[in-house]
Amino acid sequence: MHQRHSHTGFTLIELAIVLAIIGVIIGGVWYYAAQTLNKMKQEKMQDEITQIIQNSRQVFSSANTAPVIGTNVNFTTQAITANIFPIEMVNNNTSPPTLMDPYGQPVTLTTSGAQNTSFHLQFNTRSDSCTNIMTKFIANTGTRDHYAILGYSIGAGTVTTVGYNETVSIATLATACGNGAGGNSSAFFPAGLDFYYK
């Protein structure tokens, strides 16, 4: 009489199914972690922009003369010396020191070509963070007034000035940010905010 042996191992199909399930789980965790990290970088960047605007206004609001004469003059080095930028943005490994945002992209501060007594803060961004930043600082008239923001630029275009009561829709900003990315949502492109420092 033959004794029947029970099968206790895994077949190749069962192993493949288990590996596929593990792959899906790992992929989901990785995607969630990447999205969370990106959101943290976006929020950090918004905080840094807020600090730059506030620090600029605090340092130069009572100045009798402009910190730099002329429009579109790079003021980054002097602004670093004046402690305009959050310390974590300053890269002291270069000479002169340079600025990096949370994405590792360069940041510059120049005198604005739009109005006297204003600065142009330029940074590189992607379409998703561009939309979030511009929505925060441009779409809401109260926020624009609070931070004395007079305009914005997206891509290689010039500064679009925005009036005090002018409405700028989120859809308009999202479209401009999408165009700045040129259809590549992961590509970095220049964007900027212009604001009064006094």
Q: Does residue 88 lie in a domain region?
A: yes
Q: Does residue 24 lie in a domain region?
A: yes
Distance set, CA 142 to CA 91, 129, 136, 139, 147 (Å): 33, 21, 10, 9, 9
Read off the pLDDT of each residue in 50-64 and give the average, rounded to a whole number: 85
Query: How many DSSP H helices and E strands does the chain contain?
Result: 5, 7
Q: Does residue 2 lie in a domain region?
A: no
DSSP structural state of residue 5: P
Distance set, CA 66 to CA 56, 59, 79, 131 (Å): 12, 11, 13, 31
Instruction: Please report the pLDDT score of residue 8 as a whole number.
Output: 60
Q: Does residue 1 lie in a domain region?
A: no
Q: Which of 34-38, 101-105, 116-120 has the highest mean pLDDT?
A: 101-105
Q: Does residue 27 lie in a domain region?
A: yes
pLDDT tens digit string along 96-108? Answer: 888 999 999 999 9
Query: Domains in the chain: how many in total?
Result: 1
Expressed as residue numbers, the domain containing 41 is 13-196
pLDDT tens digit string along 9-29? Answer: 678 888 888 888 888 888 888
Instruction: Please report the pLDDT score of residue 180 as a whole number.
Output: 86
Instruction: Please report the pLDDT score of residue 114 as a whole number.
Output: 66
**Whole-angstrom Cα distance, residue 164 to residue 184?**
33
Mean pLDDT rounded to a whole number for the chain:
86
Instruction: Please report the pLDDT score of residue 27 as a whole number.
Output: 81
**Whole-angstrom Cα distance, residue 127 to residue 186?**
7
Instruction: Please report the pLDDT score of residue 87 as a whole number.
Output: 92
pLDDT tens digit string along 65-89? Answer: 666 667 788 888 888 988 999 999 9
Read off the pLDDT of each residue in 108-127 and give the average, rounded to a whole number: 87
Q: How confident is the model at residue 53 (pLDDT cuts 50, 70, 90)?
A: very high
pLDDT tens digit string along 134-165? Answer: 999 999 888 999 999 999 999 877 889 998 88
Q: Is 46 left (phi over 0), alpha (psi -120 to 50) or beta?
A: alpha
Q: How confident is the model at residue 52 (pLDDT cuts 50, 70, 90)?
A: very high
Q: Does residue 84 lie in a domain region?
A: yes
Q: Which two tokens stand for residue 23?
A: 């792959």
Task: Name the amino acid, one letter, at 43.
Answer: E
**Whole-angstrom Cα distance, residue 139 to residue 130?**
12
CATH code, domain with 134: 3.30.1690.10
Read off the pLDDT of each residue in 35-42 and give the average, rounded to a whole number: 86
Q: Does residue 8 lie in a domain region?
A: no
